Amino acid sequence: MDKKASAIEALGRYFLLLVFPISMSHDYSYNQIPVTNWTDIYTILSAIFYLGLLVFLIKLFFKPKLLDNEFYGQLGFGIGFFFVTVSIVSNVFLLIGANLAERFMFTPSFGYCIVLAAVIVKFTKADIIEKNFSLKSNSALLYTLVIVLVAFSYKTYSRSMDWKDNETLFRSDIETCPNSSRVNNSLSSVLVVKAKDEKDKAIREEIVKEAIRTAERAIEIYPKYRDAHYNLGTSYGIINQNQKAVEILAKCVAMDSLYKNGYYNLGVIFNRMKAYDQAIFNLKKAARLDVNNPQIYYNLADAYKKKGLTDKAINAYKQNIRINPYDENAYSNIARLNIEIGNMDEGISYLKKLIKLSPNNVDGWFNLGIIYQQRGEEQEAKKYLDKAFELNPKLRGQQ
């Protein structure tokens, strides 16, 4: 019964948003609108309002003469249209997985607009079907339309500014819906990405502090929120509080054993902590869950390399290239590792692939020249070194 009461209370909110769209949000999820019951005053008022509309509609249906009246006919159509279309998203007859969303009012608002227009015309006594009708001849209608259009146009414009970008939207909506776990987490997600891209350490730390605060708020509202734990753990990882990051991300994958992003970040942070076995374990888990993510294989190769497992590192880099054949660093690393273990021809092959992929890659040309020079192939060495010097004259003293 509480579900039905909550659905009726939400219908009241929908009507208020249509009439007074002052505070708006893209999301009203848990726990912005708590579950209510039939003793709640807002639920009772909403039920009375909609019951009144329904009684009015039934009365019109059983009194066809009223429908012949233009005003009542418009009201009947508008209210009927609203009831039919809003019933689909009301959660009264069918649970739809969302308690309230402004977008659900897009179609029902047509019925509301019909009723609003009929009421305005009726009470301003405007005869709009009169042949010589003019707004100038009905100042009451003119002023009413100006007020309505100016008010709603202003709100449309001001709200559109909130949709400038995700950060602007989430910052605006967190003011309207401070108890929505999703809004808090959405802002945290944006801040995590922003922090990763920020070069200034002091600014980055300030961004991370806010990301942590909003993720913690999301978890406070919904303690089992996987994505909020992910953002919180990632935030601590960005500022190198690695142990704390690992503890939180471990909770994240405990909540969802198939969460690839959690395993990936655990792997990256363990690699940073030089805990290579744990890094490899988590990155392999991530790779099994996301077989076409080249970055996972790149980091897995790095962990293998640091642990001294050169052959496995090379294979992981090759997997990276299979998915992303344009990764210059992967070609360079495969070449370097092959050269280190004495596979010179394989190393040369990958360096040649590198400069074919990126003709201005100075290191590729220079390293090929040095290798050929060490092998005594002076003509080949000169060809590659000359190109390297052309790209970067400062290398002449390093051969």
Where does the pLDDT of residue 264 fall: very low under 50, low under 70, confident under 90, or very high at 90 and above? very high
Kindly report, as residue ranges, where domains of CATH 1.25.40.10 are found in the chain: 179-256
The model's pLDDT over 73-125, given as tens digits with 9 standing for 90+, comes to 899 999 999 999 999 999 888 888 888 999 999 999 999 999 999 999 988 88
Q: What is the pLDDT of residue 322?
A: 97
- Contact of 370 with 398, CB cutoff 8 Å: no
- Tell me: pLDDT of 388 over 90: yes
Tell me the residue ranges of DSSP E strands in the chain. none
Q: Which CATH architecture has domain 179-256?
A: Alpha Horseshoe (1.25)
Per-residue confidence at 131, pLDDT binned at 50, 70, 90? low
Nearest of 19, 29, 23 to residue 175 by alpha carbon: 23
Residue 385 is predicted with a pLDDT of: 93
Q: Which residue in 145, 47, 184, 162 sits closest to 102, CA to CA? A: 162
Q: pLDDT tens across 201-257, in order?
A: 999 999 999 999 999 999 999 999 999 999 999 999 999 999 999 999 999 999 999
Q: How far apart are CA 241 and CA 200, in angstroms?
A: 18
| pLDDT mean across residues, the chain | 93
Angle between helices 226-238 and 242-255 (to 10 degrees): 160
Q: How far apart are CA 47 and CA 51, in angstroms?
A: 6
Task: Tell me if 228 sits within 8 A of 188, measured CB to CB.
Answer: yes
For residue 231, give both structure tokens: 């953002």
Closest C-alpha among 177, 251, 166, 245 to residue 217: 177
Confidence of residue 397 (pLDDT cuts 50, 70, 90): low
pTM: 0.86
Confidence band, pLDDT 50/70/90 cuts, at residue 379: very high
Nearest Cα to Cα of residue 101 among 24, 4, 183, 184: 24
Which residue would you say has higher pLDDT here, 141 or 358? Answer: 358
Q: How much of the chain exceeds pLDDT 70, in percent? A: 97
What pLDDT is stored for residue 292 in this prediction?
A: 96
Category of 51 on φ-ψ map: left (φ > 0), alpha (ψ -120 to 50) or beta? alpha
